[in-house]
Amino acid sequence: MPSWQSRIGSLLIRTLVKRRPKEEEREVVRQLRSWLDDSRFVRRSLPVGLTARPSNVMGVRGEWLDWTDQTVSRTLVYFHGGGYIACSPLTHRPITVALTRLLRTRTFVPEYRLAPEHRFPAAVEDALRAYRGLLARQVDPREIVMAGDSAGGGLLLGTLVALRDAGEPLPAAAACFSPWTDLAATSSSLDYNDRRDTMFYGESIRRAALVYLGNASPRDPLASPVYADLTGLPPIVVHASRSEVLLDDSIRLASRARECGVEVELEVWNGLPHAWQMLVGLVPEAEQSLQRVASFLDSHLPFLSTRSAQDTLAVNRHFRIFG
């Protein structure tokens, strides 16, 4: 059963966020940006020992999270969600700060270009440049992991496919929170979870896809990685909620990855809002999910000699996972 904190959080999200989408593109964009970029919900403070600074990696703006008390070589690249239309490194600090703390990495969050000003494949181009910029700085790909939520999860997967196709070195592992993997909008959960999802209607997803894609094919594997050949991708962990409209995007992605021989772990959680990891510090399931994902990513990275975060990587064995 979901915690009382998550039930209250879901009720608030449903009340404040869930709206039927407008038909005009500019209204879709205005709605999403007003809902998802609301400064009242942005966490600006940082824990002691962690700093944030704007940066530029091979022409891609973004935010570095780094430690003041030691130098670490392990690097997390995080792709924020927001339907390819909204949000920023700042809005997603709850997740990026938590993963940086748990994994003891330095973290780069690209501020990739957003639609409709910059449609597909602009976001993929920026993601590729940012990753290649890290390699140009002599960051070892074996010490890089990637993570992303919602559209950021789909962007992560499309980036991995593009890197694989180009014959470039891939990161050690990846994590996706409720990834958006089918912009053709064929997942059945867009309809059967239309009322249960506390944040979005299925139609909201369909309209956001049109804003991002423009005239591009919705089945382009770099936009919709559920249609891609995923052979050769690194190990992937996926967390999703049973009640969200994007549930089948996660299930189908995991199934496709297994078909292609990719090591994949899928966990489906009950009664939680889309991308509930953003509620870390407010609902226990957010911390639990992040801990489990950090444990997965940590197991694929080189041993970290300074293990100050080891206690927080311990998995909560008493939490029931449905998957």
| Token reading at 99 | 């993963």
Can you give the pLDDT at residue 12? 82
- The answer to whether residue 16 sits within a structural domain is yes
- Which residues span the domain enclosing 301? 4-313
| Token reading at 215 | 């005239």
What is the average pLDDT across 123-135? Answer: 98
Query: Is-contact 211 251, C-beta < 8 A?
Result: no
Can you give the pLDDT at residue 299? 97
Can you give the pLDDT at residue 48? 86
Quick one: pLDDT band at residue 163, thresholds 50, 70, 90? Answer: very high
- The answer to whether residue 319 sits within a structural domain is no
Predicted confidence (pLDDT) per residue in 206-256, tens digit = 999 999 999 999 999 999 999 999 999 999 999 999 999 999 999 999 999
What CATH number does the domain containing 211 carry?
3.40.50.1820
The DSSP secondary structure of 77-100, one letter per residue, reads EEE--STTTS--TTTTHHHHHHHH
Please indicate whether residue 150 is annotated as part of the active site.
yes
Among the options 63, 92, 274, 285, which is catalytic?
Answer: 274
Can you give the pLDDT at residue 285? 97
Please indicate whether residue 27 is annotated as part of the active site.
no
Query: Is-contact 131 160, C-beta < 8 A?
Result: no
Number of domains observed in the structure of the chain: 1
Burial of 144 (0-12, 13-18, 19+ CB in 10 A): buried
Predicted confidence (pLDDT) per residue in 170-207, tens digit = 999 999 999 999 999 999 999 999 999 999 999 999 99
- How many of the other CB atoms lie within 10 Å of CB of 304? 18
**Is the per-residue pLDDT at 297 higher than 70?**
yes
28: left (phi over 0), alpha (psi -120 to 50) or beta: alpha
Can you give the pLDDT at residue 20? 84
Predicted confidence (pLDDT) per residue in 251-295, tens digit = 999 999 999 999 999 999 999 999 999 999 999 999 999 999 999
As a whole number of angstroms, the distance between CA 217 and CA 97 comes to 35
Quick one: pLDDT band at residue 318, thresholds 50, 70, 90? Answer: very low
Residue 299 contacts by C-beta under 8 Å, 6 or more apart in sequence?
A: 173
Can you give the pLDDT at residue 306? 47
- The answer to whether residue 323 sits within a structural domain is no
Can you give the pLDDT at residue 40? 56
In this predicted structure, which of 25-39, 127-141, 175-189, 213-227 has the lowest mean pLDDT? 25-39
Share of the chain above pLDDT 70, in %: 91
Please indicate whether residue 244 is annotated as part of the active site.
yes
Among the options 63, 111, 244, 287, which is catalytic?
Answer: 244
Among the options 6, 88, 150, 289, which is catalytic?
Answer: 150
Strands 264-269 and 236-241 come out as: parallel
In the chain, the amino acid numbered 100 is T
- The answer to whether residue 320 sits within a structural domain is no
As a whole number of angstroms, the distance between CA 144 and CA 134 comes to 9
Residue 198 contacts by C-beta under 8 Å, 6 or more apart in sequence?
A: 10, 11, 13, 14, 17, 18, 243, 273, 274
- The answer to whether residue 115 sits within a structural domain is yes
- The answer to whether residue 166 sits within a structural domain is yes
Radius of gyration of the chain (CA): 18
- The answer to whether residue 321 sits within a structural domain is no
- The answer to whether residue 322 sits within a structural domain is no
Instruction: Using the CB atoms, write b or e for 98-131: b if 16+ within 10 Å.
Output: bbbbbbbbbbbbbbbebbeeebbbbbbbbbbbbb
